[in-house]
Chains A and B, each alone.
Chain A
């Protein structure tokens, strides 16, 4: 268990380092922020000043060294765009993304486990087919398209829900609903398959021979075993959501981490991009550990 977490930590750290180097150098190659941030009629002098202020006139290697040095002091630098510490901006955005991801994933997990299990008990029946079709369509539809269709129908057509922004609880309904569909489609299929094989396992036969009633047979003997493969998939989906729902946040004007990252990249606000990637990587790392712990709690064979 500890070894597993250690291995994961090393992999995460490596990927973090790799990502940092990659993003740092790539972003420095994309063009001159001075041109982008200063007015068009800015003089060469002003540009020089701007570069000197942000250390952009130094050789790349030196810029990188400084960046890493600051990072070790937990200083992520300033946002060029907003002239505020990059980390503050990132954490603010996370304050929006985190509840969005949490609410959506909770709904996905509950709905997928309930519907997937019911489908497995009723394998080949009407309900099973219905769940299969819904999940397949869900897993096949691009989220930006669903978002657009939802806006056309519920906001523009029926006028029930706001098109974008975050003011009221009503603003959350469409983003959550759209984000829900794909992970639900994927997880529900895994739940169904996993429950099917758990139901066919020999220990279920033993339980029947013991005279265990149907409900405990399903929810005590089968579900816990059936959840093992499901947890991995839930973890993957949750990680994807922590990356920020770039598309959904952009379309619905939701000020989360995904939208922040895209905006920052398009405006060459490097420090914010790097800070956002760091924070995301840490969040995903923590979540992976939680998944590992959940795995260990469910399956004693992993603990020992």
Chain B
């Protein structure tokens, strides 16, 4: 009988509250992050197709060309690399492999992790125990190290990278899903569905997944940034993506010998990583609140203040 939690007045004209999009528009930081991420995804999708040739065209007179000059055309605005290739074009093209690896990893880890998590949370104790111990084992692996060893043996290709990185990320989704499922399945509305005679499939799809999904999406967004950093670390160490493929992490590594003379070779790709990861972090923070019905009012309230 906590009197301070006042009953929220029902508002029939807005049965589901404002749409997610208008809520995003209200949070400027999250909105900018979303725009930046869309831009980067567009780079990743169309970059190689539009600027692919330009990015590999060597130009001896443009070697280590300093940035912020439009003399040699817009593509050299961020400078030229050690072979005289335009940095700007290379950055755009590198988005392709960077995003591809991160997206592939997050997607496969999410799929496998959430699947196993559902099973572990929903099935009997023995199955659950086996799956959880397995996750513990993976968790206590030194993940970067295992990646190094495996990639060294299997050969550093993009599918192998996705495989290795995905395995190390599975426990995150597995644990989260299981914990949420364990909590949700005890909720009254799931019990009510069981009493009505709903089968397992229906309970999982109609009642459990819709509650668990927002959390998973939020974590996946955050994890995307983590995976990107891990991929760039591997590429930086020389056991990740191999030339002529390029990712931002590899570009930083390639620029490292020129630190003394041409700082921009390593600086720009690193900055791209920071911007992308920061946007993902900000968006994930926003989603944590926006997708949670219990916290959503915090965002909705801004309307009354701003308008």
Contacts and interface: CB of A to CB of B under 8 A. Distances in A.
**A and B: direct contact (Cβ < 8 Å)?**
yes
Nearest to A202: B2
Contacts of B137: 11, 14-15, 18
B136 A243 contact: no
Contacts of A190: none
Contact of A284 (B140, B150, B152, B249): B140
Contact of A11 (B133, B146, B267, B280): B133
B237 A262 contact: yes
A141 B237 contact: no
Nearest to A189: B285
Interface stretch (B7-15, B189-197, B255-263): B255-263
Given A141-B274, A243-B144, A262-B148, A149 B249 contact: no
B241 to A, nearest CB: 14
A152 B263 contact: yes
Binding site secondary structure of chain A: helix
Interface in A111-168: 136-137, 139-145, 148-149, 151-152, 156
A137 B278 contact: yes
Interface string B106-142: 0000000000000000000000000001001110111
B50 interface: no
Interface in A7-39: 10-12, 14-15, 18-19, 22-23, 26-27, 29-30
A273 interface: yes
B214 interface: no
Contact of A145 (B148, B152, B273): B273
Nearest to A185: B281
Contacts of B232: 142, 144
B133 A148 contact: no
Contacts of A246: 144-145, 148, 233, 237
B266 A11 contact: no
B153 interface: yes
Nearest to B256: A148
B54 interface: no
A259 B135 CA distance: 27
Contacts of B263: 152
B149 A141 contact: no
B225 interface: yes
B266 A145 contact: yes
Interface string B266-307: 110011011001101110010000000000000000000000
B236 A27 contact: no
A140 B281 contact: yes
A18 B253 CA distance: 32
A149 B233 contact: no
Contacts of A156: 259-260
Contact of B270 (A22, A26, A149, A266): A149
Contacts, number: 116
B141 A19 contact: yes
A250 B153 CA distance: 21
Contacts of A140: 225, 274, 277-278, 280-281
A244 B249 CA distance: 20
Contacts of A218: none
B229 interface: yes
A142 B270 contact: yes
A278 to B, nearest CB: 11
A27 B259 contact: no
Nearest to A25: B153
B140 A247 contact: no
Contacts of B133: 10-11, 14
Given A14-B137, A137-B274, A243 B153 contact: no
B162 interface: no
A265 B263 CA distance: 30
Interface of A: 10-12, 14-15, 18-19, 22-23, 26-27, 29-30, 136-137, 139-145, 148-149, 151-152, 156, 243-244, 246-247, 250, 261-262, 265-266, 273, 277, 280-281, 284
29 contacts: A11-B140, A14-B133, A15-B138, A18-B137, A19-B146, A22-B146, A23-B149, A26-B150, A137-B278, A139-B277, A140-B225, A140-B281, A142-B233, A142-B274, A145-B252, A145-B271, A148-B252, A148-B256, A148-B259, A148-B266, A152-B267, A156-B259, A243-B142, A262-B237, A265-B148, A265-B152, A266-B152, A280-B145, A284-B142
Interface of B: 133, 136-138, 140-142, 144-146, 148-150, 152-153, 225, 229, 232-233, 236-237, 249, 252-253, 256, 259-260, 263, 266-267, 270-271, 273-274, 277-278, 280-282, 285
